[in-house]
Structure 1
Amino acid sequence: MNNESLVLRVAGRPVGRYIARPELPPRLSPRPYLHPVTTLAGTAVTELSPADHIHHLGVGVAVPDVEGHNFWGGRTYVCDQGPTELDNHGAQRHSAFQLRDPDGFVEELRWVAAGGELLRERRTVAATELSDSAWALDFTFSLTNTTHHELSLGSPATNGRPDAAYGGFFWRARKEAEAPRVFTADTEGEETVHGRRADWLALAGATWTLVFAGATKATRRDPWFVRTTEYPGVGSCLARDARLPIPPGETVVRRVVTVVADGALDRAGAAALARKAVSP
């Protein structure tokens, strides 16, 4: 194990690799990521730079608009113009690991764009066994504005593209022949789940299920960003209806706990594991 990568383990079994200093071209908005992430049986449930969206990098944090700088990768959505190639990409740079254990780590990062540093992040990741067929990835990130002026986080939605409020935690899931099923405690399907708030959301493939629980305080839970038909991916919407301001020296904190399970869970099974994963 070195500063560039580490392996997460649950009960001695490897379940994920974290790449802290990836070598990526600028247009992918270089940033650390987890890939591959697997179930306890070894089924991969992430993808890295798939052909449909090469800037999708496993599991991590990505924001398409930080005061006009792209920390998501790919094209930038410009109002009245659409997706546009711009030379505005930022990078998340690994500074140090404050903690490195087989089951998790605490990392310090700098979000840097043209002109210098915008944000500093503390990222805390932990892997916990839930059963003989499921484990949980607990992912918390804290973004602190290190400039002397207010910054704001935006999305294509706040720049004029409807239903595209992605930004924050993002998990690019395994793509299979059939689109995965997506459901919450009381609804099902991409159209009804996308853009809504829910205590948990499940994405179920042929032999695996991911259950995402928004574990931040209820007042700060973000709507979910969901795709199943075009590609399988789930993330948070930090800026759905309006830009998210961060005053100088202030910090935004978000936490998402994801259950990684073997088998296609039903609603009751997903709910039970979500409760167990976020319980104190």
Structure 2
Amino acid sequence: MSPSPHQSPGSLALRCAGRPVARYTVRPELGRSAAPRPYLHPVTTLAGTPVTEERPGDHPHHLGVGVAVPDVAGRNFWGGRTFVRGQGPTELDNHGVQRHQAFKLRDPDGFVQEIAWVADGGLLLRERRTVAAVELTDTAWALDLTFSLTNATGAELTIGSPATNGRPGAAYGGFFWRAPKAAAPPAVFTPEADGEEAAHASPAKWLALAGDGWTLVFAGATAQTRRDPWFVRAAEYPGVGSSLASADRLPVAAGDTVVRRIVTVVADGTLDRGEAAALARKAVTA
């Protein structure tokens, strides 16, 4: 039987096909500058290969897999410095916190969680986050993550990114997956393109990141999600995310909700383009 939905342990395990594949930190003990938020780490393949990184030296505010936004009405829910137009990355006392409220469902293969996005003592967003682990094959599973952000302020707010604040090519904010750094950067490819430069900022149906002994295939699972361009890094560090605010700030009226769903294939071995496409299709419809 699942525990009471209002119990909130420090972390919980996520299982797929009877095997542990991820750990979810519910209430992280982090300094405010890291924009504390729930996150998944470690995430592994079915064979046990790690495919996430937590608080790496190059970006100590990167926390495995989660939802992070650098600009919600001027508050930073990403962590680290804030990009300010005309100034560049700037240390500001503007960090928000994602606070666990309750689990509406908790099972070995998934959960539904309510989260409050709070800054300066005020509630900006209410989030409902749904996470599920789905078996695909003997060597691949899918992490299905949906987040719904509801404006709780009583007035319109807007979501931005460093790109909308004047930093070209940095439209990160939304779902984000920090992969482990290795001696060589991972390969990047989409259905039509190869390489970080070609994949970055593209609205491809899916995007693959292939490292040493593992492949991740990210797929937008709704029409709205598929309109968001991908944010991709490989050479500097390995990470993939969505872009809620790519060219313009995203307005959210009072009481309105922004919903995104991304399904990520976690596979052992190195997939080719055809294998990645087939697993992406299966994951989205599973």
Instruction: With the length of structure 1 as denominator, give the TM-score of the two structures.
Output: 0.98
What is the alpha-carbon distance in structure 1 between the residues aligned to residue 246 and residue 214 of structure 2? 29
What corresponds to 2:37 in structure 1?
31
Corresponding residue to 1:230 among 231, 236, 248: 236
Q: Output the CA distance in 1 between the equivalents of 2:171 and 2:146.
A: 20
| Aligned residue number for residue 145 of structure 2 | 139
What is the aligned partner in structure 2 of residue 50 from structure 1?
Answer: 56
The match for 2:259 is 253
Following TM superposition, by how much is the alpha carbon of 1:269 offset from its aligned partner in structure 2, in angstroms?
Answer: 0.7
Q: Could you tell me how far apart the structure 1 residues matched to 2:87 and 2:224 are? A: 36
* 3-state DSSP of counterpart to 1:131: coil
Please give the alpha-carbon distance, in whole angstroms, between the structure 2 residues aligned to 1:60 and 1:218: 19
Note if 1:5 corresponds to 2:11. Answer: yes
Superposed displacement of residue 219, structure 1: 7.3
Partner deviation per Cα, 1:163-201 (whole Å, 9 max, x = no partner): 000000000001111100000011011111000101100
For residues 275 and 251 of structure 1, the distance between their equivalents in structure 2, rounded to whole angstroms, comes to 27
Normalising by structure 2, we get a TM-score of 0.96
Tell me if 1:267 matches 2:283: no
SS at match of 1:272: helix
Q: CA deviation at 1:218?
A: 5.1
- The separation in 2 between residues aligned to 1:3 and 1:205, in whole angstroms, is 32
Match of 1:212 among 212, 218, 221: 218
Amino acid at match of 1:246: V
Match of 1:202 in 2: 208
Aligned length: 280
Which residue does 1:182 correspond to in 2? 188
1:121 equivalenced with 2:127 (yes/no): yes
Once the two structures are TM-superposed, the CA of residue 115 in structure 1 deviates from its matched residue by 3.9
Q: Any unmatched runs of 5+ in structure 1?
A: none
- Return the offset for 1:220: 5.5
Cα deviation code 1:143-172 (max 9, x no counterpart) = 000111101000000000000000000000
* Residue matched to 1:102: 108
Contact 2:133 2:142 (8 Å CA) reproduced: yes
AA aligned to 1:168 is: G
- How far apart, CA to CA, are the structure 2 residues paired with 1:197 and 1:270? 17
1:85 maps onto 2:72 in alignment? no
The unaligned stretches of length 5 or more in structure 2 are: none
Kindly indicate whether the alpha-carbon contact (under 8 Å) linking 2:225 and 2:260 is maintained by their aligned counterparts in 1.
Answer: no
In 2 relative to 1, CA 82–185 (structure 1 residues): closer, same or farther, beyond 3 Å?
A: same
Determine the C-alpha separation between the residues in 2 that align with 1:78 and 1:146: 25
Partner Cα distance (1:172, 1:127) in 2: 18
Query: Residues of 1 paired with 2:38 and 2:139: CA distance?
Result: 27
- 2:236 and 2:214 map into 1 onto residues whose CA distance is 19
Cα deviations across residues 74-106 of structure 1 (Å, max 9, x unaligned)? 000000000000000000000000000000000
Amino acid at match of 1:176: A
Q: How much is the aligned-residue C-alpha RMSD, in angstroms?
A: 1.0
- The amino acid that maps onto 2:164 is T
1:30-59 alpha-carbon deviations (Å, 9 max, x no partner): 000000000000000000000000000000
Contact 1:215 1:221 survives alignment (8 Å) = no
Amino acid at match of 2:191: A
Q: 2:220 & 2:70 partners in 1: Cα distance?
A: 20
Q: Runs in 1 of length 4+ with deviation above 3 angstroms?
A: none
Contact 1:40–1:262 (8 Å) recurs in 2: yes
The answer to whether the Cα contact below 8 Å between 1:136 and 1:260 also exists between their aligned partners in 2 is yes
SS at match of 2:136: strand
Task: Provide the rounded CA distance (Å) in 2 between the counterparts of 1:66 and 1:9.
Answer: 33
Q: Indicate if the aligned counterparts of 1:185 and 1:201 stay in contact, CA closer than 8 A.
A: yes
Aligned to 1:156: 162
What's the % identity of the aligned pairs?
A: 73
The equivalent residue for 1:64 is 70
User: What is the aligned counterpart of 1:277 among 270, 283, 286?
Assistant: 283
Residues 205, 226 of structure 2: 8 Å contact kept: no
